[in-house]
Amino acid sequence: MHQRTRAIVAGGATVVIFLLVQAGAVALAGPFESAGYRAVENPSNPTNSIAYIGAILVATAAMLAVIKFGVDWLLRGFVIVSSGLISLYVFSVLAPPLSIVVGGVAINPLAIGPAIFLALALLLYPEWYVIDAAGVVMGAGAAGIFGISFGLLPAIVLLTVLAVYDAISVYGTEHMLALADGVLDLKLPVVLVIPLTLSYSFLDDAPATDSGDERESVEADGGDTEETSADRPDADDRDVFFVGLGDAVMPAVLVASAAVFSPAEPLVAGFALSLPALTAMIGTVCGLVVLLWLVMKGRAHAGLPLLNGGAIGGYLVGALLSGIPIVRALGLGPYL
Protein backbone atom coordinates (compact mmCIF):
# COMPACT_ATOMS: atom_id res chain seq x y z
CA MET A 1 0.00 0.00 0.00
CA HIS A 2 1.35 3.43 -0.95
CA GLN A 3 2.49 5.55 1.99
CA ARG A 4 0.05 8.34 1.18
CA THR A 5 -2.82 5.83 1.12
CA ARG A 6 -1.65 4.50 4.47
CA ALA A 7 -1.76 8.01 5.87
CA ILE A 8 -5.34 8.42 4.65
CA VAL A 9 -6.33 5.07 6.19
CA ALA A 10 -4.67 6.08 9.46
CA GLY A 11 -6.56 9.37 9.34
CA GLY A 12 -9.79 7.45 8.88
CA ALA A 13 -8.91 5.29 11.89
CA THR A 14 -8.37 8.44 13.93
CA VAL A 15 -11.83 9.70 12.95
CA VAL A 16 -13.32 6.35 14.02
CA ILE A 17 -11.59 6.56 17.41
CA PHE A 18 -12.93 10.09 17.96
CA LEU A 19 -16.45 8.94 17.05
CA LEU A 20 -16.17 5.98 19.44
CA VAL A 21 -15.18 8.32 22.27
CA GLN A 22 -18.05 10.69 21.50
CA ALA A 23 -20.69 8.01 21.01
CA GLY A 24 -19.44 6.27 24.15
CA ALA A 25 -19.71 9.52 26.13
CA VAL A 26 -23.33 9.96 25.01
CA ALA A 27 -24.17 6.34 25.81
CA LEU A 28 -22.57 6.56 29.27
CA ALA A 29 -24.02 9.95 30.23
CA GLY A 30 -27.42 8.59 31.25
CA PRO A 31 -26.11 5.61 33.26
CA PHE A 32 -23.52 7.84 34.92
CA GLU A 33 -26.22 10.31 35.93
CA SER A 34 -28.40 7.53 37.31
CA ALA A 35 -25.43 6.16 39.27
CA GLY A 36 -24.76 9.58 40.82
CA TYR A 37 -21.36 10.12 39.18
CA ARG A 38 -21.94 13.83 38.56
CA ALA A 39 -18.84 15.67 39.82
CA VAL A 40 -20.61 18.90 40.90
CA GLU A 41 -23.89 19.78 42.54
CA ASN A 42 -24.89 22.53 40.09
CA PRO A 43 -23.79 21.74 36.53
CA SER A 44 -25.13 25.05 35.21
CA ASN A 45 -22.68 27.11 37.30
CA PRO A 46 -20.06 28.55 34.90
CA THR A 47 -17.50 28.82 37.73
CA ASN A 48 -17.19 25.04 37.48
CA SER A 49 -15.26 25.63 34.26
CA ILE A 50 -12.86 28.08 35.91
CA ALA A 51 -12.15 25.62 38.72
CA TYR A 52 -11.50 22.84 36.24
CA ILE A 53 -9.20 25.02 34.12
CA GLY A 54 -7.25 25.88 37.27
CA ALA A 55 -6.92 22.17 38.02
CA ILE A 56 -5.58 21.59 34.49
CA LEU A 57 -2.94 24.29 34.93
CA VAL A 58 -1.84 22.81 38.26
CA ALA A 59 -1.74 19.28 36.82
CA THR A 60 0.28 20.44 33.80
CA ALA A 61 2.80 22.19 36.03
CA ALA A 62 3.06 19.09 38.24
CA MET A 63 3.67 16.80 35.26
CA LEU A 64 6.34 19.11 33.85
CA ALA A 65 8.04 19.14 37.25
CA VAL A 66 7.92 15.35 37.49
CA ILE A 67 9.51 15.03 34.04
CA LYS A 68 12.13 17.70 34.76
CA PHE A 69 13.25 16.08 38.02
CA GLY A 70 13.37 12.59 36.53
CA VAL A 71 10.75 10.91 38.72
CA ASP A 72 8.87 9.56 35.73
CA TRP A 73 7.66 6.51 37.69
CA LEU A 74 5.45 8.82 39.74
CA LEU A 75 3.65 10.14 36.67
CA ARG A 76 3.41 6.69 35.12
CA GLY A 77 1.92 5.24 38.28
CA PHE A 78 -0.56 8.08 38.66
CA VAL A 79 -1.81 7.79 35.06
CA ILE A 80 -2.13 4.00 35.20
CA VAL A 81 -4.05 4.12 38.49
CA SER A 82 -6.27 6.88 37.10
CA SER A 83 -6.88 4.77 34.00
CA GLY A 84 -8.01 1.88 36.16
CA LEU A 85 -10.33 4.10 38.20
CA ILE A 86 -11.95 5.73 35.18
CA SER A 87 -12.43 2.37 33.49
CA LEU A 88 -13.98 1.07 36.72
CA TYR A 89 -16.60 3.82 36.48
CA VAL A 90 -17.30 2.75 32.90
CA PHE A 91 -17.48 -0.98 33.57
CA SER A 92 -19.54 -0.47 36.73
CA VAL A 93 -22.47 0.87 34.69
CA LEU A 94 -22.00 -1.58 31.82
CA ALA A 95 -21.54 -4.82 33.75
CA PRO A 96 -24.52 -6.87 34.93
CA PRO A 97 -25.22 -6.29 38.64
CA LEU A 98 -23.31 -8.75 40.78
CA SER A 99 -22.19 -8.06 44.34
CA ILE A 100 -19.59 -9.96 46.31
CA VAL A 101 -18.78 -8.78 49.82
CA VAL A 102 -15.05 -8.61 50.51
CA GLY A 103 -13.94 -7.22 53.85
CA GLY A 104 -17.35 -5.71 54.44
CA VAL A 105 -17.33 -3.93 51.05
CA ALA A 106 -19.62 -4.98 48.18
CA ILE A 107 -17.79 -5.18 44.85
CA ASN A 108 -18.80 -6.24 41.37
CA PRO A 109 -16.11 -8.56 39.96
CA LEU A 110 -17.55 -8.11 36.46
CA ALA A 111 -16.59 -4.42 36.72
CA ILE A 112 -13.43 -4.50 38.80
CA GLY A 113 -11.94 -7.41 36.84
CA PRO A 114 -11.80 -5.63 33.45
CA ALA A 115 -10.58 -2.43 35.13
CA ILE A 116 -7.67 -4.27 36.77
CA PHE A 117 -6.92 -6.05 33.48
CA LEU A 118 -6.78 -2.75 31.62
CA ALA A 119 -4.44 -1.19 34.19
CA LEU A 120 -2.15 -4.25 34.15
CA ALA A 121 -2.09 -4.25 30.34
CA LEU A 122 -0.97 -0.62 30.37
CA LEU A 123 1.68 -1.40 32.95
CA LEU A 124 3.07 -4.59 31.42
CA TYR A 125 2.42 -4.34 27.67
CA PRO A 126 1.66 -0.78 26.46
CA GLU A 127 1.59 -1.59 22.76
CA TRP A 128 -0.20 0.90 20.51
CA TYR A 129 -3.47 -1.05 20.34
CA VAL A 130 -3.52 -1.39 24.14
CA ILE A 131 -2.93 2.37 24.46
CA ASP A 132 -5.68 3.16 21.94
CA ALA A 133 -8.20 0.74 23.45
CA ALA A 134 -7.56 2.18 26.91
CA GLY A 135 -7.83 5.67 25.42
CA VAL A 136 -11.30 4.96 24.03
CA VAL A 137 -12.54 3.61 27.37
CA MET A 138 -10.93 6.42 29.38
CA GLY A 139 -11.95 9.11 26.89
CA ALA A 140 -15.59 8.03 26.77
CA GLY A 141 -15.71 7.70 30.55
CA ALA A 142 -14.09 11.05 31.27
CA ALA A 143 -16.18 12.88 28.64
CA GLY A 144 -19.35 11.25 29.96
CA ILE A 145 -18.65 12.29 33.56
CA PHE A 146 -17.71 15.83 32.60
CA GLY A 147 -20.62 16.01 30.17
CA ILE A 148 -23.14 15.45 32.96
CA SER A 149 -21.17 17.78 35.26
CA PHE A 150 -20.96 20.76 32.88
CA GLY A 151 -24.14 22.37 31.60
CA LEU A 152 -24.21 24.01 28.20
CA LEU A 153 -22.72 27.36 29.20
CA PRO A 154 -19.97 25.89 31.42
CA ALA A 155 -19.10 23.38 28.68
CA ILE A 156 -18.84 26.09 26.03
CA VAL A 157 -16.74 28.28 28.37
CA LEU A 158 -14.49 25.31 29.15
CA LEU A 159 -13.91 24.43 25.49
CA THR A 160 -13.31 28.06 24.50
CA VAL A 161 -10.75 28.75 27.22
CA LEU A 162 -8.95 25.45 26.63
CA ALA A 163 -8.74 26.16 22.90
CA VAL A 164 -7.04 29.48 23.64
CA TYR A 165 -4.76 27.84 26.22
CA ASP A 166 -3.80 25.09 23.76
CA ALA A 167 -2.87 27.65 21.11
CA ILE A 168 -0.74 29.62 23.58
CA SER A 169 0.98 26.50 24.93
CA VAL A 170 1.86 25.25 21.44
CA TYR A 171 2.64 28.45 19.55
CA GLY A 172 3.76 30.65 22.42
CA THR A 173 5.30 29.08 25.50
CA GLU A 174 5.74 25.68 23.77
CA HIS A 175 5.61 23.95 27.16
CA MET A 176 3.04 21.53 25.78
CA LEU A 177 5.71 20.23 23.39
CA ALA A 178 8.04 19.44 26.29
CA LEU A 179 5.19 17.69 28.08
CA ALA A 180 4.33 15.68 24.95
CA ASP A 181 7.94 14.49 24.61
CA GLY A 182 8.00 13.35 28.22
CA VAL A 183 4.75 11.40 28.20
CA LEU A 184 5.44 9.75 24.84
CA ASP A 185 8.59 8.18 26.22
CA LEU A 186 6.57 6.87 29.19
CA LYS A 187 4.11 5.12 26.83
CA LEU A 188 0.97 6.22 28.63
CA PRO A 189 -2.65 6.47 27.42
CA VAL A 190 -2.54 10.25 27.24
CA VAL A 191 -2.01 10.03 23.49
CA LEU A 192 -3.65 8.08 20.72
CA VAL A 193 -1.05 6.18 18.70
CA ILE A 194 -1.97 5.93 15.02
CA PRO A 195 0.41 3.64 13.11
CA LEU A 196 0.69 3.86 9.34
CA THR A 197 1.91 0.25 9.04
CA LEU A 198 0.73 -2.91 10.76
CA SER A 199 4.35 -3.80 11.53
CA TYR A 200 4.82 -0.68 13.66
CA SER A 201 5.50 -1.34 17.34
CA PHE A 202 5.11 1.40 19.94
CA LEU A 203 7.06 -0.77 22.39
CA ASP A 204 10.12 -0.73 20.14
CA ASP A 205 9.82 2.94 19.24
CA ALA A 206 11.56 5.85 20.91
CA PRO A 207 9.24 8.60 19.70
CA ALA A 208 9.78 12.31 19.61
CA THR A 209 6.95 14.81 19.37
CA ASP A 210 5.42 14.25 15.95
CA SER A 211 2.36 16.44 15.75
CA GLY A 212 3.50 18.63 12.90
CA ASP A 213 4.69 21.56 15.03
CA GLU A 214 7.05 23.79 13.08
CA ARG A 215 9.54 24.42 15.90
CA GLU A 216 10.25 22.19 18.85
CA SER A 217 12.71 22.90 21.64
CA VAL A 218 14.81 19.81 22.31
CA GLU A 219 17.68 19.27 24.67
CA ALA A 220 20.87 17.72 23.32
CA ASP A 221 24.42 17.55 24.69
CA GLY A 222 23.44 19.67 27.68
CA GLY A 223 22.15 22.59 25.62
CA ASP A 224 19.03 23.76 23.83
CA THR A 225 18.79 23.36 20.09
CA GLU A 226 15.98 24.03 17.66
CA GLU A 227 14.50 21.52 15.26
CA THR A 228 12.67 23.14 12.35
CA SER A 229 9.92 21.69 10.19
CA ALA A 230 12.51 20.95 7.53
CA ASP A 231 13.96 18.31 9.86
CA ARG A 232 10.63 16.67 10.59
CA PRO A 233 9.12 13.83 8.53
CA ASP A 234 6.07 14.44 6.40
CA ALA A 235 3.35 11.90 5.67
CA ASP A 236 5.50 10.16 3.06
CA ASP A 237 8.29 9.38 5.55
CA ARG A 238 6.70 8.79 8.95
CA ASP A 239 5.33 5.46 10.14
CA VAL A 240 3.18 6.81 13.00
CA PHE A 241 1.55 9.97 14.24
CA PHE A 242 0.15 10.90 17.61
CA VAL A 243 -2.98 12.72 18.74
CA GLY A 244 -3.45 13.82 22.34
CA LEU A 245 -6.24 12.01 24.16
CA GLY A 246 -7.42 15.38 25.46
CA ASP A 247 -8.10 16.37 21.85
CA ALA A 248 -10.69 13.59 21.72
CA VAL A 249 -12.10 14.14 25.21
CA MET A 250 -12.68 17.90 25.27
CA PRO A 251 -15.08 18.24 22.31
CA ALA A 252 -16.82 15.05 23.48
CA VAL A 253 -17.65 16.85 26.74
CA LEU A 254 -19.85 19.27 24.79
CA VAL A 255 -21.37 16.40 22.83
CA ALA A 256 -22.38 14.65 26.05
CA SER A 257 -23.51 17.91 27.62
CA ALA A 258 -25.71 18.66 24.60
CA ALA A 259 -27.19 15.16 24.81
CA VAL A 260 -28.08 15.66 28.49
CA PHE A 261 -28.94 19.35 28.83
CA SER A 262 -30.23 20.43 25.41
CA PRO A 263 -34.03 20.60 25.25
CA ALA A 264 -33.96 18.96 21.82
CA GLU A 265 -35.53 15.53 21.66
CA PRO A 266 -33.35 12.42 21.10
CA LEU A 267 -33.13 11.30 17.50
CA VAL A 268 -33.49 7.64 18.46
CA ALA A 269 -35.63 6.36 21.30
CA GLY A 270 -33.52 4.97 24.12
CA PHE A 271 -30.34 6.80 23.05
CA ALA A 272 -29.65 10.33 24.27
CA LEU A 273 -28.21 11.61 20.98
CA SER A 274 -30.11 14.76 19.95
CA LEU A 275 -29.62 16.85 16.81
CA PRO A 276 -27.40 19.43 18.59
CA ALA A 277 -25.25 16.59 19.99
CA LEU A 278 -25.03 14.98 16.55
CA THR A 279 -24.03 18.21 14.81
CA ALA A 280 -21.44 18.82 17.56
CA MET A 281 -19.97 15.44 16.63
CA ILE A 282 -20.01 16.39 12.93
CA GLY A 283 -18.35 19.72 13.70
CA THR A 284 -15.63 17.95 15.68
CA VAL A 285 -14.95 15.57 12.81
CA CYS A 286 -14.71 18.49 10.38
CA GLY A 287 -12.15 20.13 12.66
CA LEU A 288 -10.30 16.82 12.98
CA VAL A 289 -10.09 16.37 9.22
CA VAL A 290 -8.50 19.82 8.87
CA LEU A 291 -6.13 19.06 11.75
CA LEU A 292 -5.05 15.76 10.20
CA TRP A 293 -4.49 17.48 6.88
CA LEU A 294 -2.22 20.00 8.57
CA VAL A 295 -0.34 17.26 10.41
CA MET A 296 0.20 15.27 7.23
CA LYS A 297 1.49 18.43 5.56
CA GLY A 298 4.00 18.84 8.37
CA ARG A 299 2.51 22.20 9.35
CA ALA A 300 2.13 23.44 12.90
CA HIS A 301 -1.24 23.54 14.56
CA ALA A 302 -2.72 23.16 18.01
CA GLY A 303 -5.58 20.68 18.06
CA LEU A 304 -8.22 22.19 20.35
CA PRO A 305 -8.86 25.43 18.46
CA LEU A 306 -10.05 23.40 15.48
CA LEU A 307 -11.68 20.56 17.41
CA ASN A 308 -13.42 22.61 20.09
CA GLY A 309 -14.33 25.29 17.58
CA GLY A 310 -15.88 22.67 15.33
CA ALA A 311 -17.81 21.14 18.23
CA ILE A 312 -19.17 24.50 19.41
CA GLY A 313 -20.08 25.62 15.89
CA GLY A 314 -21.70 22.30 15.08
CA TYR A 315 -23.68 22.33 18.32
CA LEU A 316 -25.02 25.84 17.69
CA VAL A 317 -26.07 24.89 14.15
CA GLY A 318 -27.93 21.85 15.47
CA ALA A 319 -29.57 23.90 18.22
CA LEU A 320 -30.83 26.49 15.75
CA LEU A 321 -32.10 23.75 13.41
CA SER A 322 -33.96 22.29 16.39
CA GLY A 323 -35.71 25.64 16.95
CA ILE A 324 -33.79 26.48 20.13
CA PRO A 325 -33.15 30.23 20.53
CA ILE A 326 -29.47 31.15 20.56
CA VAL A 327 -29.67 32.56 24.10
CA ARG A 328 -31.06 29.29 25.40
CA ALA A 329 -28.64 27.25 23.32
CA LEU A 330 -25.73 29.10 24.94
CA GLY A 331 -27.21 28.62 28.40
CA LEU A 332 -27.43 32.38 28.94
CA GLY A 333 -31.12 32.49 29.81
CA PRO A 334 -30.68 32.73 33.62
CA TYR A 335 -28.27 35.65 33.19
CA LEU A 336 -30.30 37.82 30.79
**Cα dihedral across residues 61, 63, 68, 69: positive or negative:** positive
For 264-288, how does the pLDDT look when each residue is reduced to its tens digit (9 = 90+)? Answer: 999 988 788 999 999 999 999 999 9
Residue 310 has pLDDT above 80, yes or no: yes
The DSSP H or E segment spanning 271 is strand 271-274
The model's confidence at residue 130, banded by pLDDT at 50, 70 and 90, is: very high
> Each residue of 14-38: b (16+ CB within 10 Å) or e?
beebbbbbbbbbbbbbbbbbeeebb
What is the reported pTM? 0.85
Rounded Cα distance, 110 and 96, in Å: 7
Q: Does the pLDDT of residue 209 top 50, yes or no?
A: no
Look at residue 226 and tell me whether its pLDDT is greater than 50.
no
pLDDT tens digit string along 7-40?
888 889 999 999 999 999 999 999 999 888 898 8
Mean pLDDT over the full length of the chain: 83
Q: What is the mean pLDDT of residues 232-255?
A: 80
